[in-house]
Structure 1
Amino acid sequence: MTNGALHRVAEPSPADEQRRLAAVRRYRVLDTPPEGAFDTVTSLAARIFGTPMAAVAIVDADRVWFKATHGLGGITQIGREPGLCASPFLHDAPCVVPDALGDPRTAAHPLVRGEPGIRFHAAAPITTARGECLGTVNVLDTRPRQVTDDQMAALVDLASLVMDELEVRLSAVRTIAAERAQRTTAERLARALQRALLPPALPAVPGLDTAAAYHPASVDEVGGDFYDLFPLDDGRWAFFLGDVCGKGADAASLTSLTRYTLRAAAIYDPDPCAALANLDTVLKGEHQDGAPRYCTAVFGVLQPVPDGSFTVSLAGGGHPPALALRADGTIELVSTTGGQLIGMLPRPRFVQATTRLLPGEALLLYTDGLTEARTPDGTMLGEDGLVRRLSATTVREADGLLGTVDKLLTDLGTGVGDDTALLALSVPSHRIDPSAQENR
């Protein structure tokens, strides 16, 4: 971290600057409309630092353009004068200016001398995997201040999330372009976009087997179901699964925002109910022309236990209960009944539950496309019907469990009228202290 004034560093060579500008063009972000995912980053950054202003800045050839701002009063771009947002991109590390007015390198900057009178500035670079710096995530204040190492670490994480989102956007554009070049059918395009909205693969979690699947009800329309699994900084793992309202392009946009917001919220506070509350705030800010943007979701945190088991904390917002498949053959509902829709109500209630997965046990999460499917006699499968079907198998491994559900969906055939997302987590079997069962 660079504390105090910005150190003077050499300007990049013309060749390096051309390579950097080519990267900025490659990501196709300049002058694009506002997007909720980046707005979430600025609001979280301001909240973490307790500052009134924050921005996601992209450094162009002769300007600094703001992809997202918080508290900057409609400022969308500034000149590329030395100091503040235009200078930290020259560094390989975050930068801090505790008092911009007292620093000769920033004192003459228009945002310091004029409105809004910046006195404090901290920034973390947005850097590609090739080492090209596209811009910075910034927090600003009108009074001098100091920062903590934890705050700067969070700012670096937020800059990484911005880079991840830019990669997802670029991947989606390239995937769709490649699919269109081969076949322009709606089916191909929908599948390409759907893949871009879901993780390409789940990460490996030590001591846990994982599996996920997405079953579209229509081959030519993008759905709104989503899931994810990712590590937290303290050895725990977070996961979520849910379903946004609607279909098509609007649902795809909302799915991307929802998934990104939950990941970003986990940096600020991984408490399950807090993560859903953050998402609720963001979705309410996305209402356009009176059209609500809402979803159901379950957010969980996995805590490994030394004996090989996992403690699972879940919070639900209007979502079906998770199923815990026990080693003794029983199936328990991990209910978050009472949790309300996210993004819809003035003060929604989110309900938290805790369970424990012992070796030989599994947790299954699903969207309502599964339980609302119709059986051959025309009745809905429902939670009871799902439990009955799963009770007929002793499979507890994540992959095998999803195979069982896949077969169920195939058997239901045309009775499946909605998309279904599935996430299974299982603890491999091994011998365990009997007292662990008593301490579930």
Structure 2
Amino acid sequence: MPTVCDATAAHVGSGPRQVDVPPEVFAPHRVAAVRATGLLDTAPEDGFDDLARLAVVVGGGQRAFITLVDDHRSFWKSAVGPGGPAADCIRQNAVPDCPCQILVATDRPLIVDDALAPESPIRRLKAVDALGIGAWVGFPIHGPGGEVLGGLSVIDERPHTWTADEVQGLATLSRSVSTEIGLRQALSQATARVRTLQDSLLPPGLPAVPGIEAAAAYLPAGGADVLGDFYDLFRLRGEHWAAVLGDVCGKGVEAATVTALARYTLRAEAARSLSPAAVLKRLHLALLDRQDSEEQRFLTAIHATFRPTATGLAGRLCTAGHPPALIRRADGRTQEVGVAGTLLGAIADVRLTEARFRLNAGDTLLMYTDGIIEAHSHTPGRGPRGPLFGERRLHEVLAACHGLDAQATIDRVAAATLAHTGGPAGDDTALLALRVPPRAATVTPTPLS
């Protein structure tokens, strides 16, 4: 039996079309639906390959294909069986050469017991010789809107009378392929909406603080839920500035609502008071005012106010159920700043204590949410339940950021986290860094990661 790569090579530059392609193939809405799957020109995936392998077993053939048909080529998302495609093989052929064009035109199964019989609708197609097709059976696969995207097909190298059980089983598998594609599209669209909503809850950029470098990053978790980490940096009256990070309990629209409430309450209250503890207390009361009997809305936060000085900056901060800030001194020493306080919105009485801090030339203040220190590594056989990144590792990474500006420090910490988890973590993370440059310099706004 010829290999799939042999068939691909045979179709490249293979002369004029042997058949007229049905007009349904070129329907703009159908072609758009195929491209909207995001599967064209993507690598093989276990989920689709498993369905194709099952099709070989159910259909009693030698090879199975999951094919997406656009307006000029048939792309094999999966091709399994003897002589399947090598990693470097172009997994496609031209539409005029592929039997799946008939599935697109008719939106019905096509059952061919003998590909070379005079009455065979595919005998003139080049794929018959190139792939060694003796018999072929195919079923349309559909997008969420009902468009025919392509087909699930099984081939036998010899004539084959496809039984009713084989046909019924393959029809069921084709619906499973359609469902898989629809679920992937729904997840992709939901994830895009989540990212748009999440971005709307973060500042579009950081302002320039005179004499200070500032940088921030948001590292999304895997999945399609809005999570609750946020940050902000804004000017107060006179020479004073405010920086805040928070982590809302929960996910989805409810988390987004609480995040929006927190951001705008913090900005409003910080304009009235330079005391971080007083501002967080006002946010706590605002959360309690919105509580209902069914669900609590609470969060952790760290809030700092500061002002540039002749030697760097001076400030005070308050933590509410939140990890302390870290300071990296110019000589590489690290220290924690912040007294553990009560998370906001959970109980009526909260304990909030302020801590003062100073940064001199070369010093960096890092504020972060617990998605960093609670990130698990991916362990073979256990998934994302390996060792935690942890506070000690964070201290070590920060201490190693010698000579790095605020943005490079954020990038280094983010990279270390991703290297530890091996990909998106189970929780989102926000980071914000303030740094006093070693020498006097003009500081410009830092683009966000």
Structure 2 residue aligned with 1:189: 193
- Report the equivalent of 2:374: 372
Structure ranking higher on relative contact order (CA contacts 8 Å, 6+ apart): 2
Task: Give 1:370 deviation, angstroms.
Answer: 0.4
**CA distance in structure 2 between the partners assigned to 1:197 and 1:415 by the alignment:** 20
Where 1:275 maps in the other structure, the secondary structure is: helix
Matched residue, 2:353 = 351
Contact 2:277–2:352 at 8 Å: present in 1 too?
Answer: yes
CA distance in 2, matches of 1:417, 1:260: 27
Q: How many residues align?
A: 249
User: Residues 182-232 of structure 1: CA distance to partner in whole angstroms, max 9, x if unpaired?
Assistant: x98101111110110110001111101111110110252111001101111
**Structure with max Cα Rg:** 2
Matched, 1:426 2:435: yes
TM-score by length of 1: 0.54
Which residues in structure 2 correspond to 1:312-323 (within 5 Å)?
Answer: 312-323=315-326
Cα deviation, residue 289, structure 1: 3.1
Question: Does structure 1 residue 248 correspond to structure 2 residue 255?
Answer: no
Give 1:376 shift.
5.5
CA drift of 1:420 comes to 0.2
Give distance in 1, aligned partners of 2:293 and 2:190. Answer: 28
Q: Residues 229-277 of structure 1, C-alpha deviation per residue, up to 9 Å, x if partnerless?
A: 1111121101100100100100000000001000011122121000000
- Residues 395 and 401 of structure 1 are in contact (CA less than 8 Å); yes or no, is this contact kept in structure 2? no
Sequence identity of aligned pairs in percent? Answer: 43
Report the Cα offset of residue 414 of structure 1: 4.6
| Cα 1:256–1:184 shift into 2, 3 Å | same
Using the alignment, how far apart are the partners of 2:221 and 2:266 within structure 1? 25
Q: Which amino acid aligns with 1:203?
A: P
Letter of the 1:326 counterpart:
R
**C-alpha separation between the residues in 2 aligned to 1:298 and 1:210?**
16
**Alpha-carbon distance in 2 for matches of 1:346, 1:396:** 42
Q: Do the aligned partners of 2:318 and 2:355 also contact (CA within 8 Å) in 1?
A: yes
Q: Secondary structure at the match of 1:368?
A: coil
Is the 1:321–1:333 Cα contact (8 Å) retained in structure 2?
yes
Letter in 2 for 1:291: E
Mapped to 1, the partners of 2:403 and 2:219 lie a distance apart of: 21
Instruction: Give matches, 1:50-199, under 5 Å.
Output: 185-199=189-203
The offset of 1:305, in angstroms, is 1.1
Give how far 1:336 is off: 1.9
| 3-state secondary structure, aligned to 1:370 | coil
The 1:393/1:184 distance shift into structure 2, 3 A limit, reads closer
Unaligned runs of 5+ in 1: 1-182, 432-440
Q: Is 1:399 matched up with 2:407?
A: yes
* Structure 1 letter corresponding to 2:437: P
Q: Distance in 2 between matches of 1:381 and 1:203?
A: 31
1:216 aligns with 2:225: no
Match of 1:350, SS state, is coil
Q: Which amino acid aligns with 1:393?
A: C
For 2:377 and 2:222, the matched residues in 1 are separated by: 19
Aligned match of 1:9: none
Amino acid at match of 2:366: L
Residue from 297, 300, 304 that aligns with 1:296: 300
Q: Deviations over 1:106-155 (max 9, x none)?
A: xxxxxxxxxxxxxxxxxxxxxxxxxxxxxxxxxxxxxxxxxxxxxxxxxx
User: Could you say what secondary structure the match of 1:346 adopts?
Assistant: coil
Are 2:426 and 1:417 aligned? yes
Structure 2 residue runs without a partner (length 5+): 1-186, 380-385, 441-449
The 3 A distance-change label for structure 1 pair 239 and 393 is: closer
TM-score under structure 2 length normalisation: 0.53
- Aligned residue number for residue 305 of structure 1: 309
SS at match of 1:386: helix
Misfit runs of 4+, over 6 Å = none
Q: What SS is found at the alignment partner of 1:296? A: strand
Q: Distance in 1 between matches of 2:318 and 2:324?
A: 10
Equivalent position of 1:166 in the other structure: none
Residue deviations 1:324-348, cap 9 Å, x none? 01001111111322x0111112211
2 CA distance for matches of 1:415 and 1:399? 20
Of residues 394, 410, 415, the one that matches 1:386 is: 394
